[in-house]
Each structure stands twice: as C-alpha cells, then as structure tokens.
A and B are shown apart, each in its own frame.
Chain A
Amino acid sequence: MRRNSKKGEVERQLFETEVRLYLDTLYSMALRLTRSPVDAEDLVQDTLVRAYRFYDRFEAGTNFKAWLLRIQMNTFVNRYRRSTRERQVFDGPMAVPVGEGVMSRASMRALTDPVGDAQRRLIAREINRAFEELSDEARAMVLLADVEELSYKEIAEVIGCPIGTVMSRLHRARKQLQGSLQKHAVQLGIIEEGDEDLDDPIPLEAFRSRKAAKS
C-alpha cells in the first residue's frame, strides 16, 4: 500500500485511462438521475474523486464500469437525493404494482414499426417523456439494463441488491414505461383513434381465453 511518487504516477495514469472510457456513460447516467447538467457534472466529478481515492481497493479483473456506476449511484443516493424523497422513491410510486397488459396490440404494432422519420422522432420524444416520468429507481433500472446493457449480475452490483430484485424492478420499470407510452400513443396520433376499442389488451385477454380453453 505504500505509495511512492513513482507508483502514484503510474496509478494515476492507469486510473485516467480506464476512467476516460466511461466518462460519457457516467455523465449520461448522472444527467438522467439528477435531471440537471450542472448537478450531473458535479455528480460525475464527485464520483471520480471518490473512485480515485478508493482506487487501490478496486479488485483488478472485476468489472470497472459496474464499480464506477456503483460509486456514482451511492454518491447520488447519499448526497443528491433528499432523504424524504429517497424514501418516496423506494416506498412510494414504485411500490404500486403494474398490470401485465399495459399495451394494446395496436400500440405495440405502431411502436414496433414506426413509419418514417417523423414518427420515429415522435416516438423518441415520447420515450423520453415517459422515461422522465419514471421514479429515480425505475430510471436507473432502464438506464443500466436497456441503455448501458449491463447484465443482471452487474446491475445487482451497482444497485446493491439481489438479482431477483433486479428482475422484478426492471420488469416493473419497463411496464411503467410502456404504460406511459400507451397512454399518450392514441392522443398523439401514433395510433389511430378507435384502435384501442378494437384491440384487446394483450395479456389479460389471451390469458383468459387460454384459461377458458383449458378448463
């Protein structure tokens, strides 16, 4: 652990090289968590200062990106999130269960194959809006899984929870996102009006008919 200046220099260079690769990831995550470019920059800097201080405790061979993201999540939770809000995040809206059948078949089709650039842009904007409406926790799940494409194991490391919890939180987050998209899809004309009436909400209907067929 003795840190002579030569070793310190080498370590600093190594740290810089490794961290540089993930700067965009960290900032992107920070921006989505804090919703403010100024706070996001502060959060990334605080994260990297911490990571540098604890760099000798990083176990070589393990996932550096997950390690950094974990530090950033912790820093965010400890510093940027007010304690009352923090409780709301984990006990509040997210605790509400989400039904399985949140998306009508028509919405699904429209969102699966957007026609033309205009519609693509419209959907992109809608996804952004739906994403911003999610709780901190749900946004973190979507970011880690769908944007950063981390494995469940890595997400579990970042969030500090069991893999089973990752699965259920992620499922809930995605369903909330879809539910929010569905809600706006009709009124924005992504889906033609009246479609919703014509189309069955997928799962419930399907489950019931299947059930009925079986019994």
Chain B
Amino acid sequence: MSCRLVRRHLGAFVDGELDPASQIEFERHLEACPGCQENLAFERSLRQQTRESIGGVHAPEQLWGRTLHRLDEIDATRAEHRSPIEARPMRWRQSWPIAAAAAAVLIIGSVIGLPESTEYQGAGMLQDVVNLHSQALPSDVKAEAPQEVVRYFQGKTPFPVQPAQFEEPGMKFVGARYIHVGARPAAALYYNHGGRRVTLLVFQSPEIVQNAHRTHVGGRELYYHNVGGNVVTIRQHGGVNYAFFGDLDRPVLFKLAANARVAY
C-alpha cells in the first residue's frame, strides 16, 4: 500500500467510510509511516476545527414561531377543504396500487400562480409543477438525440424517461433536465408549440389525481385540477406522471395530453 493511495483516501479513512479490509490495511500502513501519521493528525485536526469554526449556528428565536404559524395555515387550508374533498366520488382511486397509478399532468393556459382555494390534495406538487414551468430552467440534454435523453435519465429517475411524442406537427421537443417535484425525482421535458413554451414534467405520484376531475378526450381518460383560470390535466399511464405547461388553449392541451405517446 502506497503513501499516495493512503493520502488520497485519508478523508474516507477518517470518515470511517472505507470497507473493513481497506480500513485494516490503512491502519497497518499508518502504524509504520510517520509521514502519513502526520497527514492523519492534520486531517483530523482540520476536521474538528472546521466543525468548530463553521458549525454551531443557532436558529433565530422567532424562526420557530414563524414556522409554526405557517404550519397553522396549512392545517387551516386542510380543514377547509377536507369535507367537500372527501365527499367526492374520486376517493376510491387512492386504493390503486402505486404501480398502476401513472399520471400525465397537463397545465393549460398562461400560468400565473395558484390561488388559495384550489383543491388542497396535491397542491404542493401542483405548485411545484407551476413553479418549475415558470422558472424555465435550462436544459441539460438537447433534443437532437432522443437516445441521449433516455441515457441522461438512467440512474437519475426510478423510471425510464423518453420524450413523449405528439402527432401534432406544431409540437417540437426542445430539451430536458433532471428536477424534483415535491420530494420526488422528476424529468422536465421542454417542448415548443408554435412558439409557445410547453413543459412536461414526468414523475411518480399517484396522489396527484386524488380529488381530480375526470373527463374523456379522444377515448382517453384524463384527470384535471383547476388551477386559478388554468387547468392541470392528468393522464395516467404506466406508473409515471407527465406534466405539461403552456400558454395554449384548454382544448388544444387536452388534445395534446390525450394523443401524446408517453410510452413506446
């Protein structure tokens, strides 16, 4: 075992993250090598000094109170929406096995923000969907090679991602990137429809169709949430969600959602 190897992985050694066999080899080397011992002493000392210098920050007194206040607001919103939501016939969908519950979410119209009084369930995620569209984060993979997109998402998302395909000639795939919706890993796929930006978010969340309205377009079952003047439209397929945003008319996006080839 060389000093070079030991010193390269001294950090992991101090962290106790080496496999047991290496750990023993490292210890054996360190016993016999004053140079590496010195490095080890330094590594440990700097670690401790870093912890003391940078850590130990306390949250301001008022932060907890403010946080509790915001939690109160959530509780109030939940209470407000509890009864009408639970009376809806859509509740049975909750019993779907997760694997069977895939959703495609279409947000339609110019997205400005979520009003207070949309359905609560999934509101956090809907909010994310809206935010992620309006932020228009840059693509990590470009549209030229769809296989690149598939590869890009391998190991990032727990489900395979490929750009959804559309019969509509005006719908062009632009690029994609890895992102989160709620705490879930998600794929953001960017499209352009006649000069208008459309975002498609792909993620797993059976909850997003809870309490959604239901409709049929072109023989396809769609769910949707009213989001202010706009609509989040959900189509379920194969355990994964697809979320579109764009300044398109509602029927146009309904049709896009219904006709999209999300798996092929």
- A residues near B (Cβ < 8 Å) are 1-3, 5, 8, 12, 15-16, 19-20, 23-24, 26-28, 31-32, 37, 41, 44-45, 48-50, 52-54, 57, 67, 70-71, 74, 77-79, 83-84, 86-87, 100, 103, 105, 108-109, 111-114, 120, 123-125, 127-128, 131, 142-143, 145-149, 151-152, 160, 162, 167, 170-171, 174, 177-178, 202-203, 206-207, 210
Contacts and interface: CB of A to CB of B under 8 A. Distances in A.
Contacts of A113: 45
B132 A78 contact: yes
Contact of B71 (A48, A57, A125, A151): A48
B45 A27 contact: no
B4 A45 contact: no
Contacts of B50: 127, 131, 142, 146-147, 177
B71 A54 contact: no
Given A147-B54, A203-B4, A112 B41 contact: yes
Return the 8 tightest CB-CB contacts between A and B, nearest first: A27-B59, A28-B57, A53-B124, A124-B53, A127-B53, A147-B55, A108-B42, A112-B45
A167 B59 contact: no
In terms of DSSP, what is the predominant structure of the interface of chain B?
Answer: helix
Contacts of A111: 42, 45-46, 49
A124 B48 CA distance: 11
B3 A206 contact: yes
B67 A44 contact: yes
B153 to A, nearest CB: 13
B228 to A, nearest CB: 19
A103 B42 contact: yes
B179 interface: yes
Interface stretch (B10-18, B105-113, B215-223, B241-249): B10-18
Contacts of B155: 162
B135 A27 contact: no
Contacts of B55: 28, 147-148
A26 B60 CA distance: 12
In terms of DSSP, what is the predominant structure of the interface of chain A?
Answer: helix
Contacts of B137: 83, 86
A81 to B, nearest CB: 10
B39 to A, nearest CB: 7
Given A123-B49, A206-B35, 14 more contacts: A1-B207, A8-B79, A16-B68, A23-B59, A23-B64, A32-B54, A32-B57, A44-B63, A74-B180, A125-B53, A127-B53, A151-B17, A152-B17, A203-B3
B63 A45 contact: yes
Nearest to A31: B57
B175 to A, nearest CB: 13
Contact of A128 (B51, B53, B78, B131): B53
A145 B15 contact: yes
B135 A131 contact: no
Contacts of A127: 46, 49-50, 53-54
A70 B185 CA distance: 11
Given A78-B135, A151-B17, A171 B11 contact: yes
B70 A45 contact: yes
A73 to B, nearest CB: 9
A179 B241 CA distance: 45
A105 to B, nearest CB: 7
Nearest to A41: B63
Contacts of B64: 20, 23
A1 to B, nearest CB: 6
B75 interface: yes
Nearest to B51: A147
Given A78-B180, A145-B15, A27 B94 contact: no
B182 interface: yes
Q: Indicate the member of B2, B55, B74 with the most A CB atoms within 10 Å.
A: B55
A160 B42 contact: no
Contacts of A103: 42
A12 B49 contact: no
Interface string B128-160: 100110011110000000000000000100000
B261 to A, nearest CB: 29
